[in-house]
Structure 1
């Protein structure tokens, strides 16, 4: 069996994912608060809204503090001359080999949260799918984009 890829994504990925997840959970908290207000007007039992608040608290802890760490530990990648090797997953770990000859184009993407931490996502497109390596430092993502593009071009010329 092949060894796992050797390169890790940036550690700041955990902070970026936590920030994004916290924003989502804050929006969900507004819905929980709304359940208290609606429950008051429609005379719902208080336990419904309290249960929603407890579930929100537990899910928030898991989603904001636990999952980003596990997710970061699983994400690895490696670029070879003939293929890109990507590993990711939380419960089910997926290992994918993307042949260079199938690469059509390579992009880097950066949203406001990733920009705050100086990170970019690298996407590798083939005819069938798009593969992503998230949260790489900007310079590393740009260098990797150029390297993959060059390797894919060389493979195309060899065919």
Structure 2
């Protein structure tokens, strides 16, 4: 097994993931609030309200605080002349090697939350799939995109 890739994604990735998780969990929190507000008029048993709030609070703690820290700790990448090595996952660690000869194009993506923190995602596309390296500092993402593009072109010319 190869050693871990050396490069980490930006520390602000945790903030971005926390904001995204907060936005996704907003609807269940609102639903539980409405349920709590109307529970007496709908004659819903108290234990259902308590269970709903316990699930929501546990979800908030897990998805907003624990998961982003675990994801950030595992996410690593490294670019070599012949390949791109990506490691991701939380409980199951996935290590992917993308040969440069298979790279068709490289993009950078930046949504509103990433833009707020000066981050971007690098997407490496092959014929079969797309591999993402999320939440890199914008300058680092642009340099990485250009470097992979140059290395992929060199590989193509050698064939």
TM-score range, shorter chain: over 0.9
Query: Is 1:148 the equivalent of 2:143?
Result: no
Aligned to 2:76: 76
| Alpha-carbon distance in 2 for matches of 1:112, 1:84 | 27
| Alpha-carbon distance in 1 for matches of 2:29, 2:38 | 14
| Alpha-carbon distance in 2 for matches of 1:55, 1:124 | 37
Aligned to 1:105: 105
* C-alpha deviation, 1:38, in angstroms: 4.9
* C-alpha deviation, 1:34, in angstroms: 2.3
Any unmatched runs of 5+ in structure 1? none
Secondary structure at the aligned position of 1:40 is classed as coil
Aligned to 2:119: 119
Aligned to 1:139: 139
Secondary structure at the aligned position of 1:132 is classed as strand
Aligned to 1:27: 27
Any unmatched runs of 5+ in structure 2? none
Q: Which runs of 4+ in 1 moved over 4 A?
A: none
* C-alpha deviation, 1:36, in angstroms: 2.3
Query: Is 1:96 the equivalent of 2:96?
Result: yes
* C-alpha deviation, 1:72, in angstroms: 0.1
| Alpha-carbon distance in 1 for matches of 2:115, 2:128 | 29
Kindly report the root-mean-square deviation, in angstroms, between the aligned alpha carbons of the 2 structures.
1.1
| Alpha-carbon distance in 2 for matches of 1:29, 1:53 | 8
Aligned to 1:8: 8
TM-score by length of 2: 0.96
